[in-house]
Amino acid sequence: MKHSNTNMSNAKLRSGWAWLGAGGLALAAGAITVAVSLQSSAHPGEGSGFERRCIGTYLVLEQGSGAQTLWTFHADHTLVSSSSGELLFAFGSQQGSWRPEGPFGAKAVQLDFDWDAAGTLEAIGRVDVNVHADDPSCDTLSGDFEGRLFPPGESPLELGDTPALFGDLVTGQRVQVP
């Protein structure tokens, strides 16, 4: 008898775990549905402009300095770039994030490391970017940026009262495979 009670207890236990597993899957599926719904309703219309059409790499010309930069807007809202001015001004490639702004625009923040002549970290650069597509195809972009420098150890994530030290107007053309 003791053996059959143990088998019955194990069967109940397995059955309970099966229900718990099924309930957990249903709960997870419900949570995913709610998260997707909340994300979709939090930004109605998002994805119809810059976010959907302008993902890609652009050859960007800085109007005042003449520097050329490659900006790559990724679908996960990250942004990477490298500039022809990196060696001249002793800074590294830039990485950051962007968000849609208006129907065909974006705001971005990029960070880089700036080095002194000895190769020691001198500052962390922050570049705030505003761009918009010149047409719905997103083949060309226009906008501006401004940059600030922060001493090592000081957070570039909060602007505070740090003044812009440089800036420029930009135009960009999407890099496409012919």
- 18 and 71, same structural domain? no
Structure tokens belonging to residue 11: 């069967």
- 82 and 23, same structural domain? no
Q: How far apart are CA 49 and CA 101, in angstroms?
A: 9
What is the reported pLDDT for 47?
52
- 93 and 136, same structural domain? yes
Q: Which residues contact 114 (CB under 8 A, 6 or more apart)?
A: 89, 90, 91, 92, 121, 122, 123, 124, 125, 149
147 pairs with which residues across the strands?
127, 166
Residue-wise pLDDT tens digits, 52-71? 899 999 999 999 999 999 99
**Confidence class for position 127, pLDDT limits 50, 70, 90:** very high
Residue range(s) defining the domain that contains residue 11: 1-42
- 79 and 5, same structural domain? no
What is the reported pLDDT for 16?
44
Number of compact structural domains in the chain: 2
- 101 and 84, same structural domain? yes
Total-model pTM? 0.71
- 74 and 120, same structural domain? yes
CATH, residue 102 = 2.40.128
Residue 47, Ramachandran bin (φ over 0: left; ψ between -120 and 50: alpha; else beta): left
- 37 and 78, same structural domain? no
Q: How far apart are CA 156 and CA 147, in angstroms?
A: 11
Please say if the pLDDT value at position 157 is more than 70.
yes
- 10 and 61, same structural domain? no
- 8 and 72, same structural domain? no
- 7 and 91, same structural domain? no
Closest CA to 91 of 57, 127, 52: 127
Closest CA to 170 of 66, 50, 57, 53: 66
- 23 and 92, same structural domain? no
Structure tokens belonging to residue 112: 């880089």
Structure tokens belonging to residue 87: 């060696």
Residue-wise pLDDT tens digits, 71-89? 999 999 999 999 998 888 8
- 72 and 30, same structural domain? no
